[in-house]
A and B are shown apart, each in its own frame.
Chain A
Amino acid sequence: DTEVTQTPKHLVMGMTNKKSLKCEQHMGHRAMYWYKQKAKKPPELMFVYSYEKLSINESVPSRFSPECPNSSLLNLHLHALQPEDSALYLCASSQGFKGRSNNGYTFGSGTRLTVV
């Protein structure tokens, strides 16, 4: 299995809703990432988990709450979002955290989030 699976593919939520995005990989990768991508812009890093511990938080507002229950699963909990949070949310994983190897990301296909 060489995929990163993200669910749901599309999500519409109101500003008072609570929802979660899910990301799963079974490649044995020990680093997992959340990126946010606005239209016609590059992905922006939100969070990095390494060995199931939060390693990097790029000053993301607290209405976004990541969770890594195990080495294969990464969630992003959403609460009280704003319309400007509408974007493509990409999950990625990679083999490890350091080293000079080809440590390329494997990305999921993303969740297109619309906040109304």
Chain B
Amino acid sequence: AQKITQTQPGMFVQEKEAVTLDCTYDTSDPSYGLFWYKQPSSGEMIFLIYQGSYDQQNATEGRYSLNFQKARKSANLVISASQLGDSAMYFCAMREGSSGTYKYIFGTGTRLKVLA
């Protein structure tokens, strides 16, 4: 079963507008972390934001915020005031913690295109 689901293969947003990229997850582990990464065409994966399963408040990092709804198992990324440089692939990832293992599971990604 898919553990991380990103249902939007592609998104368009007008420059300076806000955009929400969806991510839902599935885990039975009470301790987990959720991450968003940006991958430009150059290939590098750039860490954007992190949300821990025990965090009470939604994470924010500059123009990025994470809308964490634990009961719905969703962790949507909100980018405010989009810029042309935000055009890239965006991956949601989950880290599951259990004794002796530690790895990330990535969603299939959302390709964002910011329009001038």
Q: Tell me whether A and B are bound partners.
A: yes
Q: Are B52 and A100 in contact (CB under 8 A)?
A: yes
Q: Are A104 and B35 in contact (CB under 8 A)?
A: yes
Q: Are A100 and B54 in contact (CB under 8 A)?
A: yes
Interface size class of B (residues with CB under 8 A): 20 to 34
Interface size counted on chain A using CB atoms at 8 A: 29
Main secondary structure of the interface of A (DSSP, over half): loop
Chain B residues closer than 8 Å to A88, beta-carbon distance? 43
Within 8 Å by CB of B102, from A48, A92, A104, A110, lies: A48
- A41-B108, A42-B109 known; A103-B103 Cβ under 8 A: no
Verify if A31 is at the interface (C-beta below 8 Å from B): yes
In the complex, the chain A residue whose C-beta lies closest to that of B45 is A107
- A42-B91, A42-B108, A102-B50 known; A109-B43 Cβ under 8 A: yes
Q: In the bound complex, how far is the Cα of B35 from the Cα of A85, in angstroms?
A: 27
Interface string of A78-116 (1 = CB under 8 A from B): 000000000010101000011111111111111010000
Q: In the bound complex, how far is the Cα of B104 from the Cα of A101, in angstroms?
A: 14
A residues near B (Cβ < 8 Å) are: 31, 33, 40-43, 45, 48, 50, 55-56, 88, 90, 92, 97-110, 112
